[in-house]
Structure 1
Amino acid sequence: MYYAFAVLAPDIQRELHLSTEMAFAAFSWSLLVAGLASTPVGALVDRHGGRYVMAAGSVASAIGLAWLSRSTSTASFFAAWTVIGLASSLSLYEAAFATINRKVAVGAGRAISTLTLFAGFASTIFWPLTFALDAHIGWRDTFLVYALLQVLVCLPLHLWLGRDAPHQPVAAGAPRDSHTLGEAIRHPIFWKLALAFAVNFFIFSALAVHLIPLLKTLGHSAATAVLLASLVGPMQVAGRIGERTLARDAAPQVVGRFVFATLPFGLLSLALLGTQAWAVALFCALYGMSNGVLTIVRGTLPRVLFGVRHYGAITGAMAAPALVSKAAGPLIGAAVLSRSAGPTLLPLVLFGCALCSLLLYHSAIRTAGQAIDGERQAA
């Protein structure tokens, strides 16, 4: 649904006679659809649980991917990505985190961390697998294979989640349930965090689809570019293992400080020394670790700051700006790469963005603990 497009985009553009901008516009449109749907989907999980919501996401994903595999026109191509965008909101991280929040009243943070350990291998598996499938069966049948995986693997697993009770009491030890969605979005901390996550999503989405082409532009072969990019997945897992061990007793706010500070260093190494394979490997390590742990932070921090009962709706609302910026990442990345200023321009632009997100995050958490505690005591 996400990583395959970076590998298959050139073949799709040639066969459908699409410009680079048009091809990535469709992909970005799907991310925008996911962002628009994230808040109501989160509220659905809060109310009904994740079993049927995520199962519907698997069905929608299978339909969208199969449709994409048969697309022959620009209109059909965009329509397929519209369905995939809706499927993303129903079945990816935000829906999964909200489902875990309902099912695991105490220890949800550890459960989210465990889930992300497995998901960290997504790019490591599906970038090389897509590369191999495309070489043997072409991009259309590759998407069809992935549609079948949604039906044969993901759908049964989502149905296996079981039914949740309509309302679950907040367990002892869980954060106090003190914020509704309306209260959360009126809080300045919410918007600072939402913008900090949004800027990071912009960076990650731009690199998710442009990292391999960028590395090729920097002089690395296609095989080397795929190999280096595939380091991101294991480093995501390494970062998440570190979060579970070295930082197991640290508050999400503290872990977030490390995450937001790591990415600028990696981007600077890519911008200054990107023609060297070791520097690219260093970047992929820092990028992967930052992305891996950030996924956990954005799943656990809203629970700590805003409570449990409306977690799905609040995290969906917080994810909406991030998913909109995620939609812009591929488009703006393509525009920057197409300029004649050289391949280092994109890493430098993203480096500036990473510094902005770091400042936003620090501004948000500087007084977050005192503000939230004060509101809860007053309540």
Structure 2
Amino acid sequence: MRANITDAGASGAGGSREPIPSLELFDSPRAWRMVAAAFVAMCAVYGVAYSFGAFFKPMAAEFGARRSATSAVFSITVLVWCVLGPITGHLSDRFGPRIVVATGAVVMGLGLALTSMIDRLWIGYITYGLGVGVGVACAYVPMVAVVGGWFLRRRNTALGIAVAGIGFGTIFGAPIAAALIAHLGWRATYVVFAIATAAILIGCAFIVERPPVHVTPSRVRLSEALRSPAFGFLYASSVTVSIVIFVPFVYLPSFARDRGASEFASAALVGIIGGASVVGRMGLGSMADRAGVVRLYQASFLVLALSYGIWLAAASYTMLIVFALVMGAGYGGYVALSPAVIAHLFGTNRMGTVLGALYTSGGIGAMVGPPIVGLIIDHTGSYRIAIACALAVAIASFALLIPLSRYEPAATKSSPVLD
């Protein structure tokens, strides 16, 4: 197969080609520093984003806002970071990740600081939604693309470790926020988060570097990738699975409380999902180095679908714990393997842009899934009907991935692509 030199370090639209780098750069200690920076950056931004539940009640109480109005702050934030993913990915591909991550640090820190001073909730839609949304967008896609570009042999393991930072952020972000709010109040806590997050992201921006130039088999251009059947199946399945992924984060605690669990035990279920997702991200990412990444990606969707069957049948708190563990593992695998599948099917050239385009699907799911489930519960008075609908959508998301195997690159079905 003809090989072409992909210049990941070219500047501008007409940058010159760089010489082929030494293979010693790939999978090197320098490459693992990129993994560490990505892990820390994702832990910071998602720790803040997923801690919003701790701010929910005090903000709603102070502004006298309805739950739907207050929860819109989070929904807008998710929409922003998903929609901006292709833009930050493209900017990182073109100008390098350092300036993009540093910009995210400034915008997120400023957004959190301004949120601490709002006197109307709708202003938080702008300050928090844009500030945190831009921060996540500037950290996630560029950093994942960087990690993918620095590895050949251990790429999937590296990606799994990097995105495990999301899970650790989920586990620790909310408890830290709750403790700070209890002592300082929600406004001062946002100031603390603003300073800490900005400092952490600036440090990560200082560490992160462009990936080395890649020698890759010829691949389709970006526009062809986005129009390909493989990307179409990936996007459709990601939209459908995103519709149900956010449902437990919103409704699982209230479901458990309605069945007699304490407030702490109910909230702990979300932490269990976060913990299990770490195992899924790191475990499946490592397994993908030895097994087919597409097959494992499909398996993650199947595990997610089966988990909603467990939730539907759950009659005890123990069964809800089982659901949280299984769902978290499948969710973690989905997040960890998405960038690995993009690299496998389309190569690492322009990976940030293609990956960002895929992640716009999450914004659709975030804005559609929880509100529809809430409407079903309000109109039927039944969680079970809503969970059954989520199960059906999760099964559909798995079914949409079944044809994906036929689009794997022929040269890489049995061995890793060194790109």
TM-score (norm 1): 0.88
How many percent identity over aligned positions?
Answer: 21
Length, aligned pairs only: 365
Deviation at 1:223, TM superposition (A): 0.7
The whole-number CA distance in structure 2 between the counterparts of 1:246 and 1:39 is 28
Deviation at 1:350, TM superposition (A): 1.5
Match of 1:220 in 2: 261
The whole-number CA distance in structure 2 between the counterparts of 1:210 and 1:115 is 28
The whole-number CA distance in structure 1 between the counterparts of 2:225 and 2:394 is 25
Deviation at 1:146, TM superposition (A): 1.5
Deviation at 1:177, TM superposition (A): 4.5
CA contact (8 A) 1:194 1:322 kept: no
Deviation at 1:105, TM superposition (A): 5.4
Match of 1:295 in 2: 335
The whole-number CA distance in structure 1 between the counterparts of 2:112 and 2:162 is 24
- Is residue 96 of structure 2 the alignment partner of residue 52 of structure 1? no
Deviation at 1:337, TM superposition (A): 4.3
Q: Could you tell me which amino acid in structure 2 is paired with residue 83 of structure 1?
A: G
The whole-number CA distance in structure 1 between the counterparts of 2:384 and 2:57 is 21
CA contact (8 A) 1:24 1:331 kept: no
User: Relative to structure 1, is the Cα distance of residues 270 and 65 closer, same or farther in structure 2, using a 3 angstrom cutoff?
Assistant: same
Unmatched tracts of structure 1, length 5 or more: 375-379
Match of 1:91 in 2: 139
Q: Which moved more, 1:259-268 or 1:147-156?
A: 147-156
Residues 180-191 of structure 1: matches in 2 within 5 Å?
A: 180-191=221-232
Q: Which moved more, 1:83-92 or 1:125-134?
A: 125-134
The whole-number CA distance in structure 1 between the counterparts of 2:88 and 2:143 is 11
The whole-number CA distance in structure 1 between the counterparts of 2:396 and 2:223 is 27
CA contact (8 A) 2:54 2:178 kept: yes
Deviations, residues 128-153 of structure 1 (Å, cap 9, x unaligned)? 22333333333222222221211232
Residues 198-277 of structure 1: matches in 2 within 5 Å?
A: 198-244=239-285, 246-273=287-314, 275-277=315-317
Among 189, 200, 220, the residue aligned to 1:179: 220
Among 311, 323, 344, the residue aligned to 1:304: 344
User: Relative to structure 1, is the Cα distance of residues 292 and 373 closer, same or farther in structure 2, using a 3 angstrom cutoff?
Assistant: closer
The whole-number CA distance in structure 2 between the counterparts of 1:203 and 1:117 is 21
CA contact (8 A) 2:252 2:269 kept: no
SS of 2:49 mapped into structure 1: coil
Q: Could you tell me which amino acid in structure 2 is paired with residue 308 of structure 1?
A: T
Among 316, 324, 334, the residue aligned to 2:364: 324
Match of 2:35 in 1: none
Among 124, 127, 133, the residue aligned to 2:174: 127
SS of 1:120 mapped into structure 2: helix
Residues 25-64 of structure 1: matches in 2 within 5 Å?
A: 25-64=72-111
User: Relative to structure 1, is the Cα distance of residues 113 and 245 closer, same or farther in structure 2, using a 3 angstrom cutoff?
Assistant: closer
CA contact (8 A) 2:145 2:351 kept: yes
- Is residue 208 of structure 2 the alignment partner of residue 169 of structure 1? no
Deviation at 1:339, TM superposition (A): 4.0
The whole-number CA distance in structure 1 between the counterparts of 2:411 and 2:62 is 54
CA contact (8 A) 1:271 1:344 kept: yes
User: Relative to structure 1, is the Cα distance of residues 211 and 130 closer, same or farther in structure 2, using a 3 angstrom cutoff?
Assistant: farther
TM-score (norm 2): 0.80
Match of 2:235 in 1: 194
The whole-number CA distance in structure 1 between the counterparts of 2:150 and 2:289 is 21
User: Relative to structure 1, is the Cα distance of residues 329 and 87 closer, same or farther in structure 2, using a 3 angstrom cutoff?
Assistant: farther
Match of 2:16 in 1: none
Match of 2:113 in 1: 66
Deviation at 1:106, TM superposition (A): 5.3
The whole-number CA distance in structure 2 between the counterparts of 1:115 and 1:51 is 17
The whole-number CA distance in structure 1 between the counterparts of 2:279 and 2:130 is 33
Deviations, residues 66-101 of structure 1 (Å, cap 9, x unaligned)? 222222213311111123222221112x22211223
The whole-number CA distance in structure 2 between the counterparts of 1:259 and 1:86 is 28
Match of 1:8 in 2: 55
Match of 2:10 in 1: none
User: Relative to structure 1, is the Cα distance of residues 65 and 207 closer, same or farther in structure 2, using a 3 angstrom cutoff?
Assistant: farther
Deviation at 1:204, TM superposition (A): 1.9
CA contact (8 A) 1:24 1:330 kept: no
Q: Could you tell me which amino acid in structure 2 is paired with residue 349 of structure 1?
A: C
The whole-number CA distance in structure 2 between the counterparts of 1:11 and 1:372 is 56
User: Relative to structure 1, is the Cα distance of residues 58 and 212 closer, same or farther in structure 2, using a 3 angstrom cutoff?
Assistant: farther
CA contact (8 A) 1:116 1:296 kept: yes
The whole-number CA distance in structure 2 between the counterparts of 1:118 and 1:31 is 17
Deviation at 1:193, TM superposition (A): 0.7
The whole-number CA distance in structure 1 between the counterparts of 2:394 and 2:327 is 11
Match of 2:353 in 1: 313
Q: Could you tell me which amino acid in structure 1 is paired with residue 224 of structure 2?
A: E
Deviation at 1:371, TM superposition (A): 8.2
CA contact (8 A) 2:311 2:320 kept: yes
Deviation at 1:180, TM superposition (A): 2.0
